[in-house]
Amino acid sequence: MIFLIDQDQVLAHFELGLYNSVVKNYGISKSIHPDNRKGFYASKQYRNQVGLDIDHLLIEKGFLYNLDDIDGAIDGIKKLANKHEVFICTSPMTEHPSCLQEKYDWIKDKIGKEFCKKLITTKDKTIVYGDYLIDDKVDIKGIGEKRWQHLLFESPVNINDAPHMEKVTWKEIVEKFC
């Protein structure tokens, strides 16, 4: 089987990194704890709920590289790769000048250099072939037909957006496929 694994909020703890950055720059009262984030786009919730424009924080040098890993992600992807073909399939943040380098370096330093050879960056995941896509985004659209089954990775940002969709964790992925 071929697995396509999203990077942000499936491997790398994007929400915790954002929370910590907002706390550092604006204080705790202006931040939204990762467990209370709603909807996929953080910028929209921050603007609407606390009146902050946080876009500049997301493109700061080092933001993506310094993200912590999601619990169970490093061990989980390695176990999955021992049994199946695994590719990291991530969307670049086009406004972030060092996005691709930081994502690459994060993979190399957190998971291992061998996974850098299996890195796919694209804004359109529908054109990538695989059996499964593990992603925290609910609605993945593009120009192609989805040639994979979407396994929605459990995240606070998608709890309310997709009550009808079954969500998976790294523990469940490892138990089911390894």
| Enzyme catalytic residues | 6, 8
Q: In what order do the strands lie in the sheet with 2-5?
A: 119-121, 85-90, 2-5, 132-135, 149-153, 167-168
Beta carbons of 58 and 52 less than 8 angstroms apart: no
d(CA 174, CA 156): 21
Instruction: Output the CA torsion sign for 41, 21, 49, 162.
Output: positive
Q: E strands along the chain, which residues?
A: 2-5, 85-90, 119-121, 132-135, 149-153, 167-168
- Parallel, antiparallel or unpaired: strands 167-168 and 149-153: parallel
- Parallel, antiparallel or unpaired: strands 119-121 and 132-135: unpaired
Question: CA-based Rg of the chain, rounded to a whole angstrom?
Answer: 16
